[in-house]
Amino acid sequence: MSVQPAARLRRKDLVGIDPLSAGEIQLILDTADQMREIAARPIKKVPALRGKTVVNLFMEASTRTRFSFEVAEKRLSADSLSFSAAASSVSKGETLVDTALNLEAMQPDFIVIRHVHAGAPHQLARILKSSVINAGDGAHEHPTQALLDALTVRLHRGTLEGQVVAIVGDLQHSRVVRSNVLLLSRMGAKVRVAAPASMVPVGIESLGCEVHRRIEDAIAGADVVMMLRIQLERQGRMNFPTVREYYDFFALTPERLKLARKDCLVMHPGPMNRGVEIDSRVADGPQSVILEQVTNGVAVRMAVLYLLAGGHGEPTAD
Amino acid sequence: MTRVQVLDTRGVSRALERMAAELIERVGDEKLLYLVGVQTRGVPLAHRLAGMIGAATGHEPPVGALDIALYRDDVGPWRAAHQQPVLRATELPVSVDDKVVCLVDDVLYTGRTVRAALDTLMDYGRPRAIRLAVLVDRGHRELPIAADFVGRTVPTAHSEDVQVRVRECDGEEGVWLEKEVAG
């Protein structure tokens, strides 16, 4: 028995997976599933958010997520503005709250924020009237990534319930893993995580996952393997001796993939470090759905924008 | 609350049979015809009309499904309080280009759904013509829109509610008129 979708998303903001019920997650995924079709039309645009303004406030580098939000906004006919920290008053010392209040003074309807500090979207959600969408906050949450991963799994498997999902890589620095574990366990999947001991945050099992020390144990019989990026730029103080050693013990190679279910899906949130956490033969192999994840990301972000636009106010009769 | 049955199962079938016959006659070349049901109850009605046209002419027209939720005018900035409609599938198995598309819906009321359906359809191509078939026309148009094929015209008051049930969606079939009774 799959989860019944909620009737509506009665929220102003999407700050994380944590506040969402299983029914709300199901509603977002069902809506995203229908949004996928718009990309196949001759005119890839619908008027649903005509006249709405979206500010993409990216205070940390991002290409894929920012483009994905921008495409989603354009497909829904919203007007979007993108902000990059380097070329703004942030470099002149303005605080995040002041930047956000100044942007809100121009009456946007949505603020999509990516920030290096955990909790930045939550702070803005409390003080702003606009809907705030978290596009990644520090090592905390990245809700739309988890939703697009879930949609990708659901499209291949029909359901999330009972799926065995292994997540392998830098658990310490990853916001993707937190949102994914929360979402998958809430939807009835069984989640296993694996990383070198130096990259396993204390208490991660309390999110609802089994913790393994060897990749082989995590992926044995798995339905889905999600590889996480080794954040080489954050490894100034390396959590493992060498990249080569990481590959030897934790990379997803064709040999290791044989331990999983025969048609196990291979996923990666990108950007990939080929030859570090994932072997090119796997990344480009027949079980890889990495580029489908990117396609589904646009549909998920369209669904979130669409549903949040109706999140305020009282429900009305059909 | 009183509930009056306007059409029973047999009445619905006969209305559809007559609409199918009119469609064949008025469209002329049934090979150009493309029936597109508006979600939700227009879709099974479109399938049934296509089956009837196929049985009569030997050529069953293609059937599509159209969801108009993203094109509605009763959600968004025009209403202070609103709720986003649940999205349903839009499936157009063949191109609408150069076809005589007949939109099929259960009830024609304000005409706003049809306006949204026309806009949706235009984003998929350029049909040769668009026609409109509805099982029930209950009046009270708010836009200059008229149906080409009508199963039953039912004069109603704004306060009344027309309920169409089709067996594919509801398990029962028929058309009912519901009205509040004062006192």
Tokens of B10: 């047999």
**Beta-carbon pairs below 8 A across chains A and B:** 67
Rounded to whole angstroms, the Cα distance separating B72 from B60 reads: 31
- Per-residue pLDDT, averaged over B118-134, amounts to 96
pLDDT above 50: residue A213: yes
pLDDT of A20 above 80:
yes
pLDDT of the residue at A310: 82
Q: What is the pLDDT of residues A81-121, one digit of tens each?
A: 998 776 666 767 889 999 999 999 999 999 999 999 999 99
Check residue A315 and give its pLDDT. Answer: 45
Taking CB atoms and an 8 Å limit, are B70 and A315 in contact across chains? no
A34 Cβ under 8 Å from any chain B Cβ: yes
Classify strands A53-58 and A79-84 as parallel, antiparallel or unpaired: parallel
- On whether the CB atoms of residues B64 and B42 are closer than 8 A, the answer is no
In sequence order, which ranges of chain A are alpha helices (DSSP H)?
A: 22-35, 64-75, 96-104, 120-127, 143-157, 175-186, 215-219, 243-250, 254-257, 280-283, 290-309
B-chain CB neighbours of A36 within 8 Å are none
Q: Is the pLDDT of residue B23 over 80?
A: yes
Sign, CA dihedral A18-A24-A27-A28, equals: negative
- Cis, peptide link before residue A271, omega less than 30° from 0: yes
Q: Which residue, chain included where needed, has tokens 């406030």?
A: A57
Cis peptide before A99 (omega within 30 of 0): no
Asked if B87 lies within 8 A of A314 by C-beta distance, the reply is: no
CA A50 remoteness from chain centre = 26
Which chain B residues contact residue A27 at CB under 8 A? 86
Does residue A240 surpass a pLDDT of 90?
no
* Amino acid symbol at A217: D
Has the ipTM of the complex gone over 0.95? no
Determine the pLDDT at residue A236. 62
Please give the model's pTM, rounded to 2 decimal places: 0.91
- Dist. CA A134–CA A142, nearest whole Å: 7
Task: To the nearest 10°, report the CA torsion of A116, A309, A46, B33.
Answer: 140
CA angle at residue A43 from A70 to A12, to 5 degrees? Answer: 40
Residue with tokens 């700050």: A15
pLDDT band at B147 (very low <50, low <70, confident <90, very high): very high
pLDDT digits (tens, 9 = 90+) for A149-208: 999 999 999 999 999 999 999 998 899 999 999 999 999 999 999 999 999 999 999 999
Nearest to B77 among A37, A38, A51 (CB): A51
CA distance B78 to B112: 14
Say whether pLDDT at B69 is over 80. yes
List of chain A residues whose C-beta atoms are within 8 Å of the C-beta of residue B86: 5, 7, 27, 30-31
Select the residue of A9, A47, A312 nearest B71 (Cβ to Cβ).
A47
What pLDDT is stored for residue B28 in this prediction? 86
The confidence score (pLDDT) of residue A24 equals 97
Please say if the pLDDT value at position B59 is more than 60.
Answer: yes
- Please tell me the predicted confidence (pLDDT) of residue A138: 92
Q: Do A310 and B84 count as a contact with CB atoms less than 8 A apart?
A: yes
Residue from the list A38, A42, A318 with its beta carbon closest to the beta carbon of B125: A42
pLDDT of residue A249: 96
Using a CB–CB cutoff of 8 Å, tell me whether B159 touches chain A. no
Report the C-alpha gap between B80 and A65 in whole angstroms.
Answer: 31
Nearest residue to A269 via CA among A150, A160, A159: A150
Calculate mean pLDDT across residues B26-48: 95
Q: How far is A142 from chain B (nearest CA, A)?
A: 24
CA distance A38 to A291: 18
Q: What percent of chain B has pLDDT over 90?
A: 86
Which are the contacts of A316, defined by CB distance < 8 A and separation ≥ 6?
B79, B81, B82, B83
> What integer best gives the mean pLDDT of chain B?
92
- Verify whether the Cβ–Cβ distance B80 to A313 is below 8 Å: yes
pLDDT tens column, A268-296: 999 999 999 999 999 999 999 999 999 99
Chain A residue nearest residue B113, CA to CA:
A318
Q: Report the pLDDT value the prediction gives residue A238, as an integer from 0 to 100.
A: 67
Q: Do A37 and B84 touch (CB under 8 A)?
A: no
Share of chain B above pLDDT 70, in %: 93
Q: What is the signed CA dihedral for B150, B156, B162, B164, rounded to 10 degrees?
A: -20
**CA–CA separation, B181 and B24 (whole Å):** 42
Q: How many CB atoms lie within 10 A of CB B4?
A: 11
Q: What is the mean pLDDT of residues A49-58?
A: 94
- Mark yes or no for CB contact B88/A315 under 8 Å: no
Contact A45/B at CB under 8 A = yes
- Whether residue B163 is predicted with pLDDT greater than 90 in this model: the reply is yes
Is it the case that residue B77 has pLDDT exceeding 80?
no
